[in-house]
Amino acid sequence: RMTMSRALMHFNAASRATNPPLTFTGTEIEEQVFIADTHCMNVSAGPTQKMNLFQSVTSALDNTLAGDPTAVIFGEDVAFGGVFRCTVGLRDKYGKDRVFNTPLCEQGIVGFGIGAAAAGATAIAEIQFADYIYPAFDQIVNEAAKYRYRSGNMFDCGKLTIRAPWGCVGHGSIYHSQCPEAFFTHCPGIKIVVPRGPVQAKGLLLSCIADQNPCIFFEPKILYRAAVEQVPTEAYQIPLSQAEVLQEGSDLTLVAWGTQVHVLKEVAAMAQEKLGVSCELIDLRTILPWDTETVCKSVVKTGRLLISHEAPVTGGFAAEISSTVQEECFLNLEAPISRVCGYDTPFPHIFEPFYIPDKWKCFEAVKRMINY
């Protein structure tokens, strides 16, 4: 008798049979959720080591604790290494006063982080799942984001960084799959960053930690083990608020962040192969404040824009990008801007394969835009 999980494995296997992966780097369950960059990322000249995404996070935290005596890492279960192993080894290496568990209370974790940062410590708070960040919403939006402004720059919590696992993972369902960035993009005063792989994660996380504004760093949990790259062992930073053009193209601009970047990599390849369409692929990287210039410059060139994210389409960040682009590039548009996103439902469990904005939905949207 087949169980649901086995059925899903069969589905995945069938899917793989008809869609051979471009680059096979994950385990069987993870499929090809991660496609390594084809170009060489010269982020740092130093030695590199093969790391997956959670290891690259550990490396960033390790560099931080080594170089900054005020740095502390805290949250639920971080002491033993964390439920996603992002903090493995750090407590033993740096001491229990620097890597410690807190009680199970997100509003407390973020509030505590704000206070520690305001008092001069580099505070790195872990929220166990982005789905559980909402109790801290008041502290983030009413306090952290406004600390500097409301005090006339006498006080700030710029040394605060909040990290949280983010996004769909195959079985996460309603409360282990959410992408809540849109709730926070409506909040001036914070920064929001989402990496697409280990090299990006380490550099962007180190930039968030160094940045003198409170930052939220969402880590795509499905990529924690599935994404593996050669990552520099020393510290390096990747600039915030700079989107990255991963692939140049002339017919259509694709924009995404996190896991969805890899989906669009496949879509770009499919578009080229099956439609002869040349896509320009942009990884937004920083969601707030976002790099309007790079996106608009691309749309001026291509005339078509497709934005894709897992989060529900209504009020999702694609709406903000779409609105800004139509203001700035109205006369350049050849087709309406397309958003391929999650449906306006909570994130379902067994229906995940139907819910997510997969490559077929994105490909279909590309076709429609080209034929508009």
The residues annotated as belonging to the active site are 106, 176
- Cβ neighbors of 224 (< 8 A, separation 6 or more) are 52, 53, 54, 84, 85, 86, 165
Is residue 128 at the binding interface for another protein, with CB under 8 A as the rule? Answer: yes
Q: Which is nearer to another protein, 107 or 230 (CB)?
A: 107
225 binds another protein (CB under 8 A): yes
Phi, psi of 268 (to 5 degrees): -60, -40
A 10 A CB-CB count for 234 gives 12
The only residue of 16, 19, 29, 313 in contact with another protein, by rule CB under 8 A:
29
Which residue lies nearer to another protein by CB, 44 or 173? 173
Give the closest residue to 201 by CA, choosing from 222, 180, 231, 176.
231
64 part of the interface to another protein, by CB under 8 A: no
151 lies in the site for another protein, by CB under 8 A: yes
Contact stretch for another protein (CB under 8 A) within 168-176, 193-201, 246-254, 331-339: 168-176
**283 contact partners, CB below 8 Å, separation of at least 6:** 196, 200, 243, 244, 246, 256, 257, 261
Q: Output the smallest distance, CB 122 to another protein, in A.
A: 10
Using CB under 8 A, pick the residue from 23, 24, 46, 149 that binds another protein.
149
Please state, in angstroms and rounded to a whole number, the distance separating the CA atoms of residues 259 and 256.
8
CA distance 268 to 282: 11
Compute and round to an integer the Cα radius of gyration of the chain.
20
Nearer to another protein, 29 or 313 (CB): 29
3-state secondary structure of 321: helix
Kindly state whether residue 216 participates in binding another protein, applying the rule CB under 8 A.
no
What backbone phi and psi angles, to 5 degrees, belong to 61? -65, -40
345 binds another protein (CB under 8 A): no
What DSSP string runs through 265-290? HHHHHHIIIII---EEEEE--EEES-
Q: Quick check: 189 binds another protein (CB under 8 A)?
A: yes
Backbone angles phi, psi at 254, to 5 degrees: -110, 130
CB of 338 to another protein, least distance (A): 24
Choosing from 16, 36, 68, 108, the residue that interacts with another protein (CB under 8 A) is: 108
Does position 265 interact with another protein (CB under 8 A)? The reply is no
Say what angle helices 198-210 and 53-67 make with each other, to 10 degrees. Answer: 30
Select from 38, 142, 250, 345 the one that contacts another protein (CB under 8 A): 142
Q: Which residues bind another protein (CB under 8 A)?
A: 5, 8, 27, 29-30, 70, 72, 77, 80-85, 88, 97, 100, 102-103, 105, 107-108, 110-121, 123, 128, 135, 138-139, 142-143, 146-156, 158, 169-173, 176, 188-189, 191, 212-213, 225, 241, 289, 292-293
